[in-house]
Structure 1
Amino acid sequence: MRDRHNLLEKTRRDVDRLNRKDSQSASWIGMLFYGGTLDLLFVTPIVLGAYLGRWLDTLAAGYSVRWTVSLIVLGIVTGGYNVFRFIQRH
């Protein structure tokens, strides 16, 4: 009986804490981490696309930026999709 009472009390405290958390606004450090995560999700595919495209363009004869531009655009689309999915989940 005592274990059940302790479990109910702990559960009630947890529910109260979650309700208070929902009503509070996010802290500045939380927003900073959230923004940093969004930046990494967006910028990383663009940078990787630029480096990969530049490397592929150096393999082609003559001057070409075809792969670089194509993979940067693909990185922008992929980064936008990553941010969209992250915001949907959180």
Structure 2
Amino acid sequence: MSNDKWQHDVQRDSERLAEAERGRRGVLGTTVFLGTLSVLFLAPLLGGAYLGRWLDGLNEGYSVRWSVNLIILGLAAGIFNVYLFIRKHW
């Protein structure tokens, strides 16, 4: 094996290793990513629950119509948010 070929192979392997290290996430990066996903999912869900409870409180008698519908809508919005975030940042 010639010296030039050996140097070329070592350079290529070191570039591959450097590229692999840049693409890997650490523990902190993974924690931040999962925390962001949870906020993106829970914010619309809880917002829908609180808004639905408030709207149900405006009506006389017992009703959970708004609460259930807005929780389902918040769930769908949260899933859509998580889908878009993962698609963009993964």
TM-score tier, shorter chain, comes to 0.7 to 0.9
Q: Does 1:32 align with 2:34?
A: no
Give the fraction of aligned pairs with identical amino acids, expressed as a percent: 47
TM-fit CA distance, 1:43 = 0.4
Gaps of 5+ in 1: 1-15
Alignment of 1:1-90 (within 5 A): 20=18, 22-24=19-21, 25-90=24-89
Alignment partners' CA distance in 1, 2:82 and 2:29 = 17
Gaps of 5+ in 2: 1-14
TM-fit CA distance, 1:80 = 0.2
Length-normalised TM-score, structure 2: 0.75
Tell me the SS of whatever aligns to 2:62.
coil
TM-fit CA distance, 1:23 = 1.0
> Aligned AA for 1:88?
R
TM-fit CA distance, 1:76 = 0.4
> Aligned AA for 2:60?
A
Alignment partners' CA distance in 1, 2:20 and 2:82 = 25
| Over 3 Å off, 4+ runs | none
Higher Cα radius of gyration: 2
